[in-house]
């Protein structure tokens, strides 16, 4: 409950501290428009003015990759596009600068290149008309917020670098923890006789060679010890002083430091598993996890169109118990990819799958095209540079802060 209260307090602090950059050119008439707005032209683009000359900047993306379209005006009347030359430079958060040149097309100047996502940058526009040069600079940010390092740390925001990863294809199975038959013994008397002493209790840990019971032989009337063949735990004690000792089990002993896990694969799943495959185990009750590999496939199970996959489970601290049900992820394929991100950092933003890149105290959305995913990592096909620092924990706080700011995708 206390953690929820702390997180809510930090969210409110983020909302109070962050600021969104106004989408206006401070040096133009747009600065006189209400906060967060700018003067628009007849094509709903940003209208830049310099005396009688004006330039309307739009990003056109209807059924086409986004690109710039520029419309020039003199005294608010359209100018022929071939009478104007223009260059736009976009300076992005990570230092990349994209340059866009233009050519006359119809009644506008068409940009030469795609405007890549995110459409968040500092813009420099340079035009020439009738021998005069016009220059504007302004910020145009989306999906961006600023969070001081101290606040980010208190909110539990964690970042990591994007890089190569192994994407694994896994098969979910269920099974049960079982005794290792090579470390399990049901001990009885070597010769028929009478139990004269029992020196252990159920659940007691014993050492190899330790005396478990004393038997008096019927024929020799001599006593001999029943000893532990290995270190282990007494699972059951079926003998009491005075009992007759014959072929029946007196003491059941098992070494619980090494167990088996038996996983059942049915139907087509049985054909996908093999000896040596990596297995990640989790106790069905939660809490315990372990890594192992398949040691053997029990062929007798094929008669029922299923296979029992057996894996050794090291249990030095005794946290696993025979009979515990487990869930398992069996790795049936693995592929190295050049660039991947953690699934914990992936969010939905507008219609995109995104992560949030970090540069200093600034966080900005990165729209991703993802490939193969395995629940832990996702392959990145485009939208992110190798080595980019991105949020892997509490990324929903970044999204909430950006959505609060109302930064839009409106061009």
Digit-coded pLDDT (tens) for 149-183: 999 999 999 999 999 999 999 999 999 999 999 99
pLDDT greater than 90 at residue 383: yes
Q: Mention every residue, 6+ apart, whose C-beta is less than 8 A from residue 4.
A: none
Q: Residue 342 is encoded by which pair of tokens?
A: 């953690």
Q: What is the mean pLDDT of residues 4-16?
A: 46
Name all domains of the chain by residue range, CATH numbers in brackets: 21-140 (2.60.40.3340), 146-167+336-405 (2.40.420.20), 170-178+257-334 (2.40.30.170), 183-254 (2.40.50.100)
Label residue 300 by pLDDT band (50, 70, 90). Answer: low
What pLDDT, on a 0 to 100 scale, did the predictor assign at position 306?
A: 84
Which of 239-243, 383-387, 396-400, 405-409 bottoms out in mean pLDDT, i.e. has the lowest?
405-409
What pLDDT, on a 0 to 100 scale, did the predictor assign at position 304?
A: 61
Residue with tokens 């910020």: 139
Q: What is the total residue count of the chain?
A: 411
Which of 58-62, 216-220, 308-312 bottoms out in mean pLDDT, i.e. has the lowest?
216-220
Largest CA distance in the chain: 125
What pLDDT, on a 0 to 100 scale, did the predictor assign at position 262?
A: 96
Between 39 and 287, name the one with better pLDDT: 39
Of 170, 166, 163, 169, nearest to 392 by C-alpha is: 163
Label residue 286 by pLDDT band (50, 70, 90). Answer: confident
pLDDT greater than 60 at residue 384: yes
CA distance 337 to 80: 50
Angle CA(277)–CA(280)–CA(286) in degrees, nearest 5?
A: 160
What pLDDT, on a 0 to 100 scale, did the predictor assign at position 409?
A: 56
Q: What is the mean pLDDT of residues 22-28?
A: 33
Angle CA(156)–CA(350)–CA(43) in degrees, nearest 5?
A: 135
Model confidence pLDDT, tens digit, residues 26-37: 333 333 344 457
What pLDDT, on a 0 to 100 scale, did the predictor assign at position 31?
A: 34
pLDDT greater than 80 at residue 193: yes
What angle do the packed helices 395-405 and 2-17 form, to 10 degrees?
A: 40
Q: Quick one: 132 exposed, middle or buried, by C-beta within 10 A (0-12, 13-18, 19+)?
A: exposed
Rounded to the nearest integer, the mean pLDDT of the chain is 89
Cα-Cα-Cα-Cα dihedral sign, residues 174, 178, 180, 181 = negative
Model confidence pLDDT, tens digit, residues 214-271: 999 888 888 999 999 999 999 999 989 989 998 899 999 999 999 999 999 988 899 8
Angle CA(125)–CA(131)–CA(135) in degrees, nearest 5?
A: 20
pLDDT greater than 50 at residue 25: no
Between 301 and 40, name the one with better pLDDT: 40
Which of 19-23, 150-154, 346-350, 371-375 bottoms out in mean pLDDT, i.e. has the lowest?
19-23
Residue 274's CB is within 10 A of a number of other CB atoms, namely: 11
What pLDDT, on a 0 to 100 scale, did the predictor assign at position 28?
A: 34
Label residue 287 by pLDDT band (50, 70, 90). Answer: confident
Q: What is the mean pLDDT of residues 373-390?
A: 97
Q: What is the mean pLDDT of residues 368-382?
A: 96
Q: Mention every residue, 6+ apart, whose C-beta is less than 8 A from residue 249.
A: 186, 187, 188, 236, 238
pLDDT greater than 80 at residue 410: no
What pLDDT, on a 0 to 100 scale, did the predictor assign at position 35?
A: 43
Residues facing residue 307 across a β-bridge:
265
Q: Residue 231 is encoded by which pair of tokens?
A: 């270190």
Q: What is the mean pLDDT of residues 68-94?
A: 98
What pLDDT, on a 0 to 100 scale, did the predictor assign at position 8?
A: 42
Label residue 23 by pLDDT band (50, 70, 90). Answer: very low
Range picked from 236-240, 320-324, 343-347 for highest mean pLDDT: 343-347
What pLDDT, on a 0 to 100 scale, did the predictor assign at position 103?
A: 97
């Amino acid at each position: 409950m206390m953690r929820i209260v702390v997180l809510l307090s930090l969210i409110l602090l983020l909302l109070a501290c962050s600021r969104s950059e106004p989408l206006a050119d401070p040096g133009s008439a747009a600065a006189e428009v209400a906060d967060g707005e700018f003067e628009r032209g007849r094509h709903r683009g940003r209208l830049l003015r310099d005396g009688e000359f004006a330039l309307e900047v739009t990003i056109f993306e209807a059924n086409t990759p986004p690109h710039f379209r520029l419309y020039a005006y003199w005294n608010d009347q359209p100018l022929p596009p071939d009478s104007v030359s223009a260059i736009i430079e976009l300076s992005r958060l990570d230092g990349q600068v994209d340059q866009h040149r233009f050519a006359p097309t119809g009644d506008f100047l068409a940009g030469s290149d795609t405007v890549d996502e995110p459409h968040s940058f500092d813009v420099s526009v340079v035009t020439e008309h009738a021998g005069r040069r016009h220059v504007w600079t302004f910020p145009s940010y989306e999906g961006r917020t600023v969070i001081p390092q101290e606040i980010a740390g208190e909110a539990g925001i964690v970042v990591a670098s994007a890089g190569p990863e192994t994407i694994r294809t896994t098969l979910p199975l269920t099974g049960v923890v079982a005794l290792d038959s090579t470390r399990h013994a049901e001990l009885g008397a070597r010769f028929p006789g009478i139990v004269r002493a029992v020196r252990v209790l159920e659940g007691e840990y014993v050492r190899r060679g330790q005396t478990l019971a004393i038997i008096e032989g019927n024929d020799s009337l001599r006593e001999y010890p029943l000893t532990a063949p290995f270190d282990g735990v007494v699972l059951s004690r079926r003998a009491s002083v005075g009992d007759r000792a014959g072929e029946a089990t007196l003491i059941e002993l098992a070494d619980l430091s090494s167990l088996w896990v038996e996983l059942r694969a049915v139907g087509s799943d049985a054909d996908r598993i093999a000896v040596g495959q990596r297995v990640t185990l989790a106790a069905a009750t939660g809490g315990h996890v372990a890594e192992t590999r398949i040691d053997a496939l029990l062929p007798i199970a094929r008669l029922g169109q299923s296979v029992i996959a057996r894996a050794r489970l090291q249990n030095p601290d005794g946290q696993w118990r025979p009979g515990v049900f487990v869930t398992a992820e069996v790795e049936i394929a693995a592929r190295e990819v050049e660039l991947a991100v953690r699934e914990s950092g992936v969010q939905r933003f507008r219609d995109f799958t995104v992560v949030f890149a970090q540069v200093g105290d600034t966080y900005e959305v990165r729209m991703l095209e993802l490939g193969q995913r395995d629940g832990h990592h996702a392959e990145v096909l485009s939208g992110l540079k190798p080595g980019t620092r991105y949020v892997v924990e509490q990324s929903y706080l970044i999204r909430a802060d950006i959505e609060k700011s109302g930064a839009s995708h409106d061009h």
